[in-house]
Structure 1
Amino acid sequence: MEASEGLKHTGIEIGLYTLADIGPDPHTGKTVSAHQRIKEIIQAAKLADEAGLDVFGVGEHHRLDYAVSAPPVVLAAIAQATKRIKLTSTTTVLSTVDPVRLFEDFATLDLLSDGRAEIIAGRGAFVESFPLFGFDTNDYDALFSENMDLFLKLNENERISWNGRFRSSLREAEIAPRPAQSQLPIWIGVGGTPESAVRAGKLGVGMALAILGGDPVRFKPLVDLYYRAGIEAGHDLENLKIGVTGHGYISKTTPQAKDEFYPYYSNYWSYVNRQRGMGFRMSRADFEQMTSPGTALFVGSPQQIVEKILHQYELFGHSRFLAQMDIGGLPFKKVAEGIELLATEVAPIVRKETNK
């Protein structure tokens, strides 16, 4: 089936997310502290809220070169500095967290924020949380499956009895507090595996696609698998939601955006690949190809960004787009300028064009 068949056309949500990476500014060589990075993330969320964006997400890592290991704590701080923007994890490493604690933390966040909390759950691009919390990477998928099953039950029931393989059993356990919303919205983050798309569809939860580059059309089969699995499992189409996340940088013109962002984006992939034991370094020619009009890297003028979002919307019929703009040691002043452009020159056009 076509993705667009299942979507209510009310205009898609536009927002931001951060993974809180801590990298040196390639121009100055200076690296901000974790303290400053978290302060800037809270300020970015406040700016996004005031500018009228819809969602702000915070990711989870357990490394010294990332500032956030506890998204619900940071999101709770953001909740007190904002009024209406939705607050989500991007992503929660579900395989290595106790689902009961996760539910309680985000239910508390939901109460603090007057019903704005969400979770995007994933298996994680890094595996340092496994030994850190006493889990075996051989159980990578089994842990995720069991924890998702338990979390969905916790979301539905004030009291629960449950047996599993990886944590102690529950006997008429009271799960408190309950969120302000009737249930916490939960999405599964999908990086490209068909199995993850099918799982999200079967469970009837949202699917957040991480599309960091290349031709976005290659993700269309995952969207079709998601919808097919959801329908076969008996879920209503209106409850099957798709989000797209990607890297972005906006400036007045596309050439200016490319010139400004290339040093930071090259820097970002240099240290991310080094973290993963790879030595690839991005040339300017690589970057030019990655930012060409038909790709999923959102770098350019507001009009270029609008065109790329709408092209993906034609492919996927998604209901949410989140941009990651604060990477590679980019100074906060540039992040703030990007937030303003996204909110004032991109979001209004995209909402109008998708509200048909």
Structure 2
Amino acid sequence: MQFGIFSVGDVTPDPTTGRTPTEHERIKAMVAIARKAEEVGLDVFATGEHHNPPFVPSSPTTMLGYIAATTERLILSTSTTLITTNDPVKIAEDFAMLQHLADGRVDLMMGRGNTGPVYPWFGEDIRQGIPLAIEKYALLHKLWREDVVDWEGKFRTPLQGFTSTPRPLDGTPPFVWHGSIRSPEIAEQAAYYGDGFFANNIFWPKEHFQKLISLYRKRYAHYGHGTPEQAIVGLGGQAFIRKNSQDAVREFRPYFDNAPVYGHGPSLEDFTEQTPLVVGSPQEVIEKTLAFRDSFGDYQRQLFLMDHAGLPLKTVLEQLDLLGEEVVPVLRKEFAALRPAGVPDGPVHPAAVTSVKEEV
């Protein structure tokens, strides 16, 4: 089981001080957070992709390449890569290059994004979101697996005798997750290719995501990739942790109440009841996360959102200390004990596995 964090890279005022970090400060903070994640023993750091204020991560591979040079074990991923508005040729090249630089410690999550104006900025039509995602990923999948590609589709110019360079490291493309919060077509796409399905369940009740994950598992088996239980599933989560619940709630409430993503909506208490958000002690985070298995079955990757809503860097780093030292070790032990034989571990590139063994 892999544990990690994902960041959306928002630049949000701290409601307790009124101060808004600069873009430079926020970018540097994301790098510090990734390095801290490795330091405390987490497995994955994932960055979002946005092309509009108040977000900064418009170039995920640039950021992940920099982080790769300053880490040794951390898997570097995205959350998400916008398959709809990026050129598959450029995705193929950028992530293969990152694979080589990071010795295989790379995967990525495909997504359509949730910002409508991005589509026309990159010459696309949001009404074609699903067809764009399906066609563009089909090309990307082909580019990583065939040395010479002839291809023609609806949304880009044809390719004739094209070779994407560099080729994937040791002939093994980066593992792909397909991220979705609402689209059964994306669950079907993940199942068709035998890829991972990441249900970013942080805002909606679990019943919605149970349907998506169940569909993905059934279709994964239908396409002959394994049993439903062997399908590769990832989940989102949110936590704010202090030694005791009262301190956590008191400290986090002003951030929750003013954050653009959920401020002025449901109360903190209602939101924590209906979604994966936990504001409390390490034990409360452990108990709620373990309960995900009851709702969704055994799964391979758990990513937490920890650095949003204007939380200062110092506070985020303290959160990561608690997550890495008091929460994740218990979760690793408990999930491992519960996992049946035959359920696979989280995906890791063979070169990354070899690299870690050599270091040991």
Scaled by the length of structure 2, the TM-score of the pair is 0.89
Alpha-carbon distance in structure 1 between the residues aligned to 2:249 and 2:185: 35
C-alpha contact (below 8 Å) 1:80/1:113 kept by paired residues:
yes
Q: Note if 1:254 corresponds to 2:245.
A: yes
Q: More relative contact order in 1 or in 2 (CA 8 Å, sep 6+)?
A: 1
Look up the SS of the partner of 2:191 in the other structure: helix
**Number of the residue aligned with 2:134:** 145
Matched, 1:228 2:228: no
Q: Distance in 1 between matches of 2:315 and 2:243?
A: 12
Q: 1:1-356 counterparts in 2 under 5 A?
A: 12-180=1-169, 182-213=172-203, 215-237=205-227, 240-268=231-259, 271-272=260-261, 281-282=264-265, 286-292=267-273, 295-316=275-296, 317-356=298-337
3-state SS in 1 of match to 2:80 = strand
Q: Which amino acid aligns with 1:37?
A: R
Query: Given the superposition, is the C-alpha separation of residues 16 and 235 from structure 1 closer, same or farther in structure 2, using an over 3 Å criterion?
Result: same
Listed as ranges, the gaps of 5+ residues in structure 1 are 1-11, 274-279
**Distance in 2 of aligned mates of 1:119 and 1:301:** 31
TM-score of the superposed pair, with normalisation by structure 1: 0.90
Query: Does the C-alpha gap of structure 1 residues 142 and 183 become closer, same or farther in structure 2, counting only changes over 3 Å?
Result: same
Report the Cα offset of residue 202 of structure 1. Answer: 2.0
8 Å contact kept, 1:62–1:128: no
Cα distance per residue 1:80-124 (max 9 Å; x no partner): 111101000100111000001011111111111110111101111
How many residues end up aligned between the 2 structures?
334
Residue 266 of structure 1: how far off its partner (Å): 2.1
Contact 1:17 1:57 in 2 (8 A): yes
Give the gaps of 5 or more residues in structure 2.
338-360
Asked if the contact 2:144–2:164 (Cα under 8 Å) also holds between the matched residues in 1, the reply is no
CA–CA distance in 2 between the matches of 1:133 and 1:117?
A: 25
RMSD: 1.6
Amino acid at match of 1:205: D
Judge which range, 234-243 or 221-230, deviates more. Answer: 234-243
Contact 1:214 / 1:297 at 8 angstroms: preserved in 2?
A: no
Q: Which runs of 4+ in 1 moved over 6 A?
A: none
Identity %: 37
